[in-house]
C-alpha cells in the first residue's frame, strides 16, 4: 500500500519546519508502506516552500519517501486541494492524509491511528482527526480558557471531516472536485463523501472521527474568535447554497466531474450563485446560523442540556456581531473567495 501525506500551507514558514519534523517522528513512517509526502505552498508571500525543502533535507535525509514541494501562485484551499488530489498525488497512492501546517500532533502514533481506523472498518471512506485547543494543556486555565474549551467540546461533529487532519481512501477522493472558490473546503468535502457527489441520500456513517484528541491547534484570542466566527458563518452559508444547487442537479452519478468542468468553463460560477442568493435581501443568513449552538441542546437529555445551556446561550449571544459582519460581506461582490 502507498500513502500520501499532504500539507496545503499558506504563509507558514514558521510552522512548516516543525510540522515536517513531527511527521518524521510518526510511527506510521516505520510501517511497511510506501510514502509520498507533499507540501503544497499555496499563494505564499513568504518562504514556506524554501523552509519545507530545508526541513525535508534534515528530517527525511535517511527515509525513502517520495518528497515533493510544489508552489502555486493561485490562492484558495479548495483550488489547491483539487491540484493536490488530481495533479500531484502519485497515481499509485491508495490513501491520503491531509494536515494543516499549523497543528501539533499529540503523540507519535496519531497518523498510524488514523490509517488503522480507516483500514479496520470496510464501511469507512474517511476518518477525521480530533482537534483540541492548545490551552487544554495549560496547568492554570483562566475563566476565558475554561469557557472556550467547554464551548469547543459542544461543537464536536462525529461524522464530519475536520480539514486540519483527516485520512481518506484515494479512489473516493479522485471522484471529487471541489467548487472554486469556496471559503471552506472541509464542509463541502464532507457532503461530497456522504452523498457520493450528491448522487444518493447522505450516509454520515461513512465518515468517523477519532474519539480521543489527536492534535492541538492554537486557541483564538478574543478578537481572533470574532474573526473566526465570521469566517465560519460565511463558509457555512456559501457551502449550504452550493449544496442546494448541487442537489437540484438530480445527479445519477458523482457530480465531481461536472464541478470540474464548471470550474474550468466558468470560473465565476460560485460568485454568481452567491450573488443570486443575496440579491434583494438585507439579511442573507439563515436563522440557524445564529441558533445552532442552542439547537445542539436537543436530544442530549435534560441534565446535560441544563448544564450546557448557559455556555450555549453566551456563545450564541457572542456570535451575533460576527453574523452581522458576515451578512455584510456576503452582500458584497467577491464574498465566495473570502477567507
Q: pLDDT digit string (tens) for 15-69?
A: 999 999 999 999 999 999 999 999 999 999 999 999 999 999 999 988 989 999 9
Pick the CATH number of 2-337 from 3.40.50.1220, 3.40.605.10, 3.90.550.10, 1.10.10.60: 3.90.550.10
Check residue 151 and give left, alpha or beta (phi > 0: left; psi -120 to 50: alpha): alpha
Tens-digit pLDDT profile for residues 260-269: 999 999 999 9
Distance CA 246, CA 208 (A): 24
- For residue 181, count other CB atoms closer than 10 A to its CB: 24
The residue-averaged pLDDT of 143-158 equals 66
Element (H, E) at 7: strand 2-9
What residue ranges do the domains of the chain occupy?
A: 2-337
Q: Predicted confidence band at 250 (pLDDT cuts at 50, 70, 90)? A: very high
HSE of 8, CA atoms in CB hemisphere, 13 A: 27
pLDDT at 219: 73
> Cell numbers at residue 316, please?
450564541
- Cβ pair 20, 52 in contact under 8 A: yes
pLDDT at 168: 98
pLDDT at 252: 94
* 337 preceded by a cis bond (ω within 30 of 0): no
Tens-digit pLDDT profile for residues 206-248: 999 999 999 988 876 767 777 877 888 888 899 999 999 999 9
Cite the DSSP H helix spans in the chain: 16-25, 48-59, 77-83, 110-120, 143-153, 170-173, 185-194, 222-247, 256-265, 269-278, 288-295, 302-318, 320-330
Distance CA 208, CA 271 (A): 32
Q: Predicted confidence band at 3 (pLDDT cuts at 50, 70, 90)? A: very high
| pTM of the full structure | 0.90
* Least confident among 99-108, 143-152, 184-193, 312-321: 143-152
pLDDT at 310: 75
Distance CA 335, CA 238 (A): 9
Give percent of the chain with pLDDT exceeding 70: 92
- Sheet architecture: strand order including 215-217: 104-105, 215-217, 131-133
What are the C-alpha distances in Å from 163 to residues 1, 20, 66, 189?
Answer: 23, 18, 23, 9
pLDDT at 51: 97
On the question of pLDDT at 316 being above 80, the answer is: no
Comparison of pLDDT for 304 and 19, the residue scoring more? 19
Distance CA 7, CA 268 (A): 27
Q: Which of 16-20, 272-276, 318-322 has the highest mean pLDDT?
A: 16-20
On the question of pLDDT at 323 being above 90, the answer is: no
Distance CA 19, CA 100 (A): 9
- Cβ pair 154, 87 in contact under 8 A: no
pLDDT at 17: 96
pLDDT at 222: 67
Three-state secondary structure of 147-177 = HHHHHHHCCCCCCCCCCCEEEEEHHHHCCCC
pLDDT at 131: 92
- In this structure, are strands 2-9 and 95-99 parallel, antiparallel, or unpaired? parallel
Q: What is the mean pLDDT of the chain?
A: 89
The residue-averaged pLDDT of 146-160 equals 69
Amino acid at each position: 500500500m502507498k500513502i500520501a501525506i499532504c500539507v496545503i500551507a499558506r504563509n507558514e514558514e514558521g510552522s512548516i519546519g516543525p510540522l515536517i519534523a513531527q511527521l518524521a517522528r510518526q510511527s506510521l513512517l516505520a510501517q511497511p508502506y510506501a510514502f509520498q509526502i507533499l507540501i503544497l505552498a499555496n499563494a505564499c508571500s513568504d518562504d514556506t516552500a524554501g523552509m519545507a525543502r530545508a526541513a525535508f533535507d534534515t528530517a527525511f535525509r535517511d527515509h525513502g519517501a517520495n518528497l515533493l514541494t510544489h508552489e502555486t501562485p493561485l490562492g484558495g484551499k479548495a483550488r489547491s486541494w483539487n491540484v493536490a488530489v488530481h495533479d500531484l498525488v502519485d497515481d499509485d497512492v491508495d490513501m491520503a492524509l491531509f494536515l494543516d501546517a499549523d497543528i501539533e500532533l499529540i503523540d507519535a502514533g496519531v497518523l498510524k491511528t488514523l490509517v488503522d481506523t480507516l483500514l479496520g472498518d470496510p464501511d469507512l471512506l474517511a476518518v477525521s482527526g480530533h482537534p483540541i485547543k492548545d490551552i487544554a494543556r495549560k496547568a492554570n486555565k483562566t475563566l476565558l480558557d475554561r469557557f472556550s474549551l467547554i464551548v469547543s467540546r459542544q461543537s464536536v461533529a462525529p461524522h464530519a471531516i475536520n480539514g486540519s487532519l483527516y485520512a481518506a481512501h484515494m479512489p473516493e477522493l479522485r471522484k471529487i472536485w471541489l467548487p472554486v472558490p469556496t471559503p471552506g473546503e472541509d464542509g463541502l468535502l464532507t457532503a461530497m463523501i456522504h452523498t457520493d457527489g450528491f448522487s444518493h441520500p447522505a450516509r454520515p456513517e461513512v465518515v468517523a472521527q477519532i474519539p480521543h484528541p489527536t492534535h492541538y491547534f492554537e486557541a483564538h484570542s478574543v478578537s481572533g474568535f470574532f474573526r473566526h466566527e465570521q469566517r465560519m458563518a460565511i463558509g457555512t452559508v456559501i457551502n449550504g447554497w452550493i449544496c442546494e444547487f448541487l442537489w437540484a442537479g438530480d445527479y445519477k452519478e458523482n457530480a465531481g466531474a461536472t464541478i470540474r468542468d464548471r470550474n474550468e468553463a466558468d470560473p465565476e460560477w460560485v460568485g454568481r450563485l452567491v450573488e443570486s442568493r443575496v440579491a434583494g435581501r438585507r439579511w442573507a443568513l439563515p436563522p440557524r446560523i445564529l441558533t445552532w449552538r442552542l439547537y445542539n441542546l436537543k436530544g442530549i437529555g435534560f441534565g446535560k442540556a441544563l448544564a450546557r445551556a448557559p455556555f450555549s446561550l453566551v456563545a450564541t449571544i457572542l456570535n451575533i456581531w460576527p453574523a452581522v459582519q458576515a451578512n455584510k460581506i456576503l452582500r458584497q461582490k467577491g464574498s465566495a473567495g473570502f477567507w
